């Protein structure tokens, strides 16, 4: 890009401007720093036609992303399907459902590839040789894979008790996996100390302002794939709450730059009952988040007891007229199975949270039956297969005999030629 559209980092609390470096908190009030852009310039530069003419990846929205040059990591990430889910809509009792299907995001089958693509492209611009992260699983997978293909050395730090498949999905890329005995919050605190001492590029610590912006691309894709329109309702699962706030930012940016028409929209948040600090605050009408010291849920990817963006997520839900819900382990499994059985999409536990919470929001009328809703489904079910294993029947096994097969289908009430 010839002139900079990405201008500064800016404190979300006091608005002070900072240079575009590997920093993430304001020195005056400890507010989070966020990427700031010259929107007037962007408006003069982008159009629907320009974007439509570009390759199908998240980088078709590059004017809205915080790097200076061309992207160098994760060029194939994003532009996942937006699936019109009529059978799910019928099951949930609402007019129109779309599933934003990031279970098939490239390369590591979760929405985290979006944030990592931006963070590592920026890490390279800033000259980092070693990149790292604190992760509940998916971020580690994505940092490991994208760092491998970029030729960057990486360390990923995770709670030691994660799902085996998630751990394997980091190890295979040859990264350095460090398991920490303790919940995510303690992993994250340790990472802040390491970042200070070792000077590595932690994608969700000192590179967080860049990382977080990658989540906006899920919002841009939703609007473009709906025919350049903002959906009335969007349901987003929350860990730190960052994705929810960035989808809100994405919708606002496209109104501001004239890519979509201004209209009212509502953003709802979803958590697991076993780790629901944001949903709990929202339901109680508070914007102060009470930490959950010992999360206990099968939705491990969402198990952040002290969510960094929880306060801002609550603000977004309040300002847009949204609501929050949470789902028990049993409801999460039901949600996974409902999505799989109606739409043929196998989501991880976080997706089960989104579906289960959407079901409650529709049943309570918070999402009216006549409306259109987009569900953000953020990771693939094969990564958390153990969560559903016990709820599924064993396959029925027979000998290779037509007679035995006849008996089996007769029991199902299915005859030959049906
Ligand atoms: C990380 C993650 C989220 C949400 O993360 P935020 O910290 O709220 O942005 C949602 N779903 C999955 C599967 C994730 O891995
Ligand atoms: Zn500040």
CA 103 → CA 107, 349, 386, distances in Å? 10, 11, 17
* Ligand 1 pocket residue status of 378, Cβ below 6 Å: yes
pLDDT score recorded for residue 296? 97
pLDDT score recorded for residue 290? 97
* Ligand 1 pocket residue status of 214, Cβ below 6 Å: no
| Pairing status of strand 6-11 against strand 33-37 | antiparallel
287-303: average pLDDT: 96
- Residues with Cβ within 8 Å of 391's Cβ and at least 6 positions away in sequence, in order, are 333, 337
Which residue out of 105, 111, 351 has the highest number of ligand 1 atoms within 8 Å of its CB and is therefore the one to mutate? 111
Beta strands in 252-371 (DSSP E): 266-272, 324-327
* Ligand 1 pocket residue status of 65, Cβ below 6 Å: no
Global pTM reads 0.97
pLDDT score recorded for residue 126? 97
Reported as a single tens digit per residue, the pLDDT across 313-359 is 999 999 999 999 999 999 999 999 999 999 999 999 999 999 999 99
pLDDT score recorded for residue 353? 98
375-395: average pLDDT: 96
Q: Which residue has the tokens 């841009």?
A: 220
Give the number of the ligand closest to the Cα of residue 30: 2
* Ligand 1 pocket residue status of 238, Cβ below 6 Å: yes
In the structure encoding, which two tokens stand for residue 106, read together?
Answer: 């490239």
What is the position in ligand 1's atom list of the atom closest to the CA of 236? 10
Rounded to the nearest integer, the mean pLDDT of the chain is 96
174-196: average pLDDT: 96
In the structure encoding, which two tokens stand for residue 69, read together?
Answer: 């040059």
* Ligand 1 pocket residue status of 243, Cβ below 6 Å: yes
pLDDT score recorded for residue 3? 62
| Cβ contact 379:103 at 8 Å | yes
pLDDT score recorded for residue 418? 62
Reported as a single tens digit per residue, the pLDDT across 68-104 is 999 999 999 999 999 999 999 999 999 999 999 999 9
Domains annotated on the chain, with CATH: 82-108+213-389 (3.40.50.1100)
* Ligand 1 pocket residue status of 188, Cβ below 6 Å: no
pLDDT category at 311 given cuts 50, 70, 90 is very high
Cα 242 to ligand 1 centre (Å): 8
DSSP labels for 47-98? -HHHHHTS-SSGGGGGGGSS-SS---S-TT-----EEE-HHHHHHHT-SEEE
CB count within 10 Å of CB 199 equals 12
Reported as a single tens digit per residue, the pLDDT across 206-259 is 999 999 999 999 999 999 999 999 999 999 999 999 999 999 999 999 999 999
Q: What percent of the chain has pLDDT over 70?
A: 99
DSSP labels for 405-416? HHHHHHHTT--T
The answer, yes or no, to whether residue 197 has pLDDT greater than 80, is yes
| Cβ contact 351:336 at 8 Å | yes
pLDDT score recorded for residue 4? 79
pLDDT score recorded for residue 213? 98
pLDDT score recorded for residue 1? 45
| Cβ contact 345:375 at 8 Å | no
| Pairing status of strand 201-202 against strand 372-377 | unpaired
Reported as a single tens digit per residue, the pLDDT across 10-41 is 999 999 999 999 999 999 999 999 999 999 99
What is the position in ligand 1's atom list of the atom closest to the CA of 307? 7
Q: What percent of the chain has pLDDT over 90?
A: 96
Distance between CA atoms of 395 and 397, rounded to whole angstroms?
Answer: 6
Give the chain's largest Cα–Cα span: 78
pLDDT score recorded for residue 2? 47
* Ligand 1 pocket residue status of 58, Cβ below 6 Å: no
CB count within 10 Å of CB 347 equals 29
Q: Check whether the bond before 107 is cis (ω within 30° of 0).
A: yes
Cα 252 to ligand 1 centre (Å): 21
| Pairing status of strand 372-377 against strand 96-101 | parallel
In the structure encoding, which two tokens stand for residue 398, read together?
Answer: 């027979």
pLDDT score recorded for residue 130? 97
* Ligand 1 pocket residue status of 237, Cβ below 6 Å: yes
In the structure encoding, which two tokens stand for residue 371, read together?
Answer: 């409306």
Cα 21 to ligand 2 centre (Å): 16
pLDDT score recorded for residue 415? 76
Reported as a single tens digit per residue, the pLDDT across 362-381 is 999 999 999 999 999 999 99
Cα 136 to ligand 1 centre (Å): 9
| Cβ contact 163:137 at 8 Å | yes
């Amino acid at each position: 890009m010839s002139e900079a559209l990405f201008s500064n980092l800016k404190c979300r609390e006091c608005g002070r401007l900072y240079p575009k470096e590997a920093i993430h908190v304001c020195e005056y009030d400890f507010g989070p720093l966020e990427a700031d852009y010259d929107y007037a310039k962007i408006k003069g530069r982008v159009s629907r036609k320009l974007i439509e003419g570009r390759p199908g990846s998240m980088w078709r929205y590059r004017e809205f992303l915080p790097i200076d040059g061309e992207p160098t990591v994760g060029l194939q990430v994003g532009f996942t399907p937006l699936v019109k889910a009529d059978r799910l809509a019928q099951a949930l009792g609402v007019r129109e459902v779309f599933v934003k299907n990031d279970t098939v995001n490239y390369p590591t089958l979760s929405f985290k590839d979006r944030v990592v693509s931006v963070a590592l492209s920026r890490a390279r611009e800033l000259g980092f040789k070693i990149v790292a992260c604190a992760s509940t699983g998916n971020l580690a997978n994505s940092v490991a894979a994208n760092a491998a293909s970029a030729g960057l050395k990486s360390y990923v730090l995770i709670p030691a008790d994660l799902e085996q498949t998630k751990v394997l999905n980091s190890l295979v890329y040859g990264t350095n996996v460090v398991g920490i005995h303790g919940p995510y919050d303690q992993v994250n605190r340790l990472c802040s100390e390491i970042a200070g001492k070792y000077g590595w590029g932690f994608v969700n610590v000192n590179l967080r302002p860049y990382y977080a912006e990658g989540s906006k691309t899920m919002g841009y894709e939703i609007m473009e794939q709906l025919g350049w329109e903002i959906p009335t309702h969007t349901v987003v699962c929350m860990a730190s709450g960052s994705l929810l706030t960035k989808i809100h930012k994405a919708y606002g940016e496209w109104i501001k730059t004239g890519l979509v028409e201004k209209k009212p929209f509502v953003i709802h948040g979803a958590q697991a009952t076993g780790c629901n600090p944001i949903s709990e605050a929202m339901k109680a009408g508070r914007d102060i988040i009470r930490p959950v010291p010992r999360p206990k849920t099968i939705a491990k990817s969402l198990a952040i007891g002290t969510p960094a963006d929880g306060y801002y997520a609550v603000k977004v839900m309040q300002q847009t007229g949204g609501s929050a819900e949470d789902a028990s382990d049993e409801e999460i499994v039901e949600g996974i199975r409902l999505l799989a059985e109606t739409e043929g999409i196998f989501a991880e536990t976080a997706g089960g949270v989104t579906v289960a919470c959407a079901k409650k929001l529709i049943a309570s009328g918070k999402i009216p039956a006549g409306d259109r809703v987009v569900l953000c489904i953020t990771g693939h079910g094969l990564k958390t297969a153990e969560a559903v294993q016990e709820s599924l029947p064993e396959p029925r096994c027979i000998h290779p005999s037509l007679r035995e097969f006849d008996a089996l289908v007769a029991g199902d009430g299915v005859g030959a030629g049906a």
